[in-house]
């Protein structure tokens, strides 16, 4: 399972949708990047794992997007992303 996660301006909790294949996840990622490069538009995303889960967001409110594979290691409490916290 692959997760596409959006970070929005002035919102502490990210939004995410899931795709079963890497190709489908990459397609959604590219769709979001294209929206970010263009004029502000409304993006509607759905989740394959939970078909009733839908989210709509203006592309001008997105400040980051990441894609990652959901694995057993990430379920152990380590959040995905690019930041590392040392103790």
Higher pLDDT, 33 or 75: 33
In a domain, 79, yes or no: no
In a domain, 87, yes or no: no
What's the CA gap between 7 and 28, in Å, rounded? Answer: 15
- pLDDT at residue 53, as a whole number: 85
In a domain, 82, yes or no: no
Q: How confident is the model at residue 48 (pLDDT cuts 50, 70, 90)?
A: confident
- pLDDT at residue 34, as a whole number: 93
Query: Looking at the chain, which runs of residues are DSSP E strands?
Result: 2-8, 15-19, 42-46, 54-58, 62-69
In a domain, 28, yes or no: yes
What's the CA gap between 10 and 25, in Å, rounded? Answer: 25
Question: What residue numbers bound the domain in which 34 lies?
Answer: 2-72
In a domain, 33, yes or no: yes
DSSP code of 73?
T
Q: How confident is the model at residue 50 (pLDDT cuts 50, 70, 90)?
A: confident
Q: Which two tokens stand for residue 34?
A: 């294209």
**Residue 82 pLDDT exceeds 60:** no
- Give yes or no for a contact between 35 and 28, defined as CB atoms under 8 angstroms apart: no
**Residue 11 pLDDT exceeds 80:** yes
In a domain, 77, yes or no: no
Q: How many domains does the chain have?
A: 1
């Amino acid at each position: 399972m692959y997760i596409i996660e959006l970070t929005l301006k002035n919102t502490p909790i990210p939004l995410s949708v899931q795709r079963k294949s890497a190709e489908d996840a990459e397609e959604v990622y590219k769709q979001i990047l294209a929206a970010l490069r263009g004029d502000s538009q409304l993006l509607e995303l759905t989740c394959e794992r939970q078909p009733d889960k839908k989210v709509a967001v203006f592309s001008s409110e997105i400040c980051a997007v990441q894609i990652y594979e959901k694995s057993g290691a990430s379920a152990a409490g380590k959040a995905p992303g690019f930041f590392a916290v040392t103790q």
